[in-house]
Amino acid sequence: MPTEPAQLLASLDGLLFTGSPSNVEPHHYNGPASVEGTAHDVFRDRTTLPLLRAAIAQGVPVLCICRGFQELNVALGGSLHQRVQELPGYLDHREPQSDVLAVQYATQHPVQVRSGGVLEALGLAPGFEVNSLHSQGIDRLASDLRAEALAPDGLVEAVSLPGAPGFLLGVQWHPEWEFMNNPVSLNVFTAFREACLAYARNRQGR
């Protein structure tokens, strides 16, 4: 089983970095220690952060969701708010955990799409409604990333990487929830799928 990023990427046509109940350990972005009881996944951090950088450099199509979105920002030099709900002027972006999944994953707030980026090219401007299931969020945006969409409180909800050699999109919400019934999610996953197919054809010389 290959363990180095280069070995893994040699056999992949795309990478999807998913959400998770765990948070990125704050030492990766020089943040303060987490509140006691915060869930972390040291093995995921050790895997995803270098793998993201290698995949981007190689042009492998990448889609990052929720924790994956936060990992992308950290991997490229950005930082995170650990508890957005405690910051003045910010919304509470957490889900109502006592409710059923359909309520937890229901749309919670709109996002405004910035012009000239990937989301606009996918026909998703000027904006749309998203679900919201996170306590961490982007604090300092990595210098190479572009904010693609913003929440009403100004929190970055989607990013891209101008000049990236391959498809790259990160979103803070969960487009995978009932994606077949959501035109925004279908656009996002269709674009990722097409990028993966094109990369596979080029990789295999077809």
Residues annotated catalytic, as ranges: 66, 174, 176
Angle, to 10 degrees, between the axis of helix 67-75 and the axis of helix 42-58? 70
Could you give the C-alpha distances from 36 to 39, 40, 41, 93, 188, in angstroms and in order?
9, 11, 14, 20, 36
Pull the structure tokens for residue 194. Answer: 């097409």
**Phi, psi torsion values for 148, nearest 5 degrees:** -95, -30
DSSP annotation string for 171-203: ESS-TTTTGGG-HHHHHHHHHHHHHHHHHHHHH
